[in-house]
Amino acid sequence: MNSKKTGLNSNQIKLIAIIAMTIDHLVWTLFPGTQHIWYVMALHIIGRLTAPIMWFFIAEGCFYTHDMKKYIMRLFGFAVISHFAYDFAFGIPYFSLKGGLFNRTSVMWSLALSVVCVALSRSEKIPQALKTILIIGCIILGFPSDWSCIAVVCPMYIYAHRGDFRLQAKDIIIWSFVYAAVYFIFLDKPYGILQMFTFLTIPILSHYNGRRGEWKGMKWLFYIYYPAHLFIIGLLRILLHGNISTIF
């Protein structure tokens, strides 16, 4: 992607994701479960902006990183910390699949697995058959996280289609549709439809100018903010509702 003088840099787009994510998580806490109230659903629609931005910049990170191994290890370390923060935030058992296979851990787990898949696909030392087996394994391992294995697969496609934003936009729509269909069939029909509002991210990402922005601390801000805000969400959950699960 060529750098442009106008448009939005990555810091600005990531800030949009942080704000949307915070709104979404607060709404799950203030209005637990899939409540079919128009303003609750409208606020969750704002939250749909977050995931595609994460997918997109995970793909960008794979392109720009100077050390793929360090990038993977950093993301897995972050995923471990985020697991406890995420489960505490929404009242999910830390080491149990009781209640179902969905949303047992944060999206960071799937994103870390996605980077592993990109690294596997780029490797010239691993036979293609073994690559396929390992990538399928990563996809399966990502199933219990927030956004499930979609957050493993979609960043891979976005990375593969880097330089062609039309294809990247299609990737977001197609894989969001797959997730929405599963949500619609197995969890909640209105909230399944709601998942498709990820398409609202496409106009934002289309204005990405390929630049990071002047401030170099956004990456570390997110690494700190993500688990920190989840911890606060968890405290709020307990104060408002007691030790209950709020995400479903």
The domain ranges of the chain are 10-241
1 — pLDDT class (breaks 50, 70, 90): low
Q: Is the pLDDT of residue 18 over 80?
A: yes
Residues 6 or more apart whose CB falls under 8 angstroms from that of 227 comprise 81, 82, 84, 85
Residues 156, 122, 8, 71, CA torsion sign: positive
State pTM to two decimals: 0.95
The letter for the amino acid at 52 is P
Please provide residue 208's backbone torsions phi and psi, each rounded to the nearest 5 degrees: -65, 130
For 33-69, the pLDDT digits (tens) are: 999 999 999 999 999 999 999 999 999 999 999 999 9
For 96-155, the pLDDT digits (tens) are: 777 778 889 999 999 999 999 999 999 999 999 999 999 999 999 999 999 999 999 999
